Structure 1
């Protein structure tokens, strides 16, 4: 035990022995600076200085832009810009695909492969039906009676639209109408609520002129029917027909879903267009 105590005392003495650090002028040997030190003080000061240096370096790298100059690190702003540009590129790619499909759908119309019904023959027949009263030798009573009947039927097409339509439409879906057609709020459609996966049927015979994805309205399919009618089905879950397919009335073309950014739940957004104008689907179809 005595030897161990002597070794401890000797080590303690070495650590606590004082030394003087003197800085002298080389020419005059004048003392400029002196400092009393011990081995223990040097170890403690060196350790404290090392800890402070590590802490300051860590703070500079973690909380200042200086880390961008260290190999392997990249700018956070550069990462954010890269992510933003990636999303914008994907959005532009989708919009370009939609535009290409829309252009392809218009090509048959522009090239004359799909001909719209001409009304020239109807107008010609109407002009030929003008009655020359002088040739008929109609009496005064006959003229008054004919004028009365013509005045009653003059606006028959506008007043009895449903009875004069040459095409019968099939209900695309049976369900609850959550929002009706309202031209004032620019809601040119009828929203029908139904369970996800419910079949959606074609309202009449027609040709698929568009069938693809849209960012705002999800999966969309458009059918062109006779008499210049176009039916539009939006927010579908799945599309079962492709562009150019011919479908029969009542044939399943899609399923109910909730796709697109503007959807509020599982439903069908149904539009009906005639001659380039939106019409109220409830005037032609019973959704109950």
Structure 2
């Protein structure tokens, strides 16, 4: 027991024993600074210094951008940016796919080539065609009243030419003789209208110019996009007055009649109408005379 007490006193004496730390001038041995230290003071001071250093490091990592330089650490801001970029990437992929499909349609219009399934789509309904002899064609009372109402409305309707009830008034792009009609079996999805060279070519309706360039086959070409997915195509022009992105009004001059392109046979306008990717006969909606 006595030995334990003696050992404790010895440890206490060593911890509290005073030491003097002196800083001297090397040449004159003049005392500059001196400190009175003990092992306990050194231990406590060192511990406090280490705690303060750890606390300061923690604060720097938690509240400054330095934490981003720690390998494997990912900040909340970076996670948010990564999430936003992921959503933007998905949106860009969808937009790119839509744009590619749109460009494929424009390319198809320029080449005048469409799938047979589109051209021959009417044959799909052939099997469902009704035999008129089996149908009672006598109008009922309600049908007669409806016909009279429609006839009255048409009598005072100034705008007779509409497509699928989209209320589009279609102007004639040029006036002249039809040199070649709409012949889908021969892959001629247009009407060719002869006209005097440099005659103005007008927009058939309000729309946006989505293509206005030179092509080797059909010369100067301009394509307008109208309401409801309707496209109007003007080929073999002598010059173009509007460019891609321009907004045009119905009846506004967009080009001039010419004889440009490899497949031209003289001054004329090669005019096409496309309804949601399907060619339609312009003569059903426009009077070129």
TM-score (norm 2): 0.45
TM-score (norm 1): 0.45
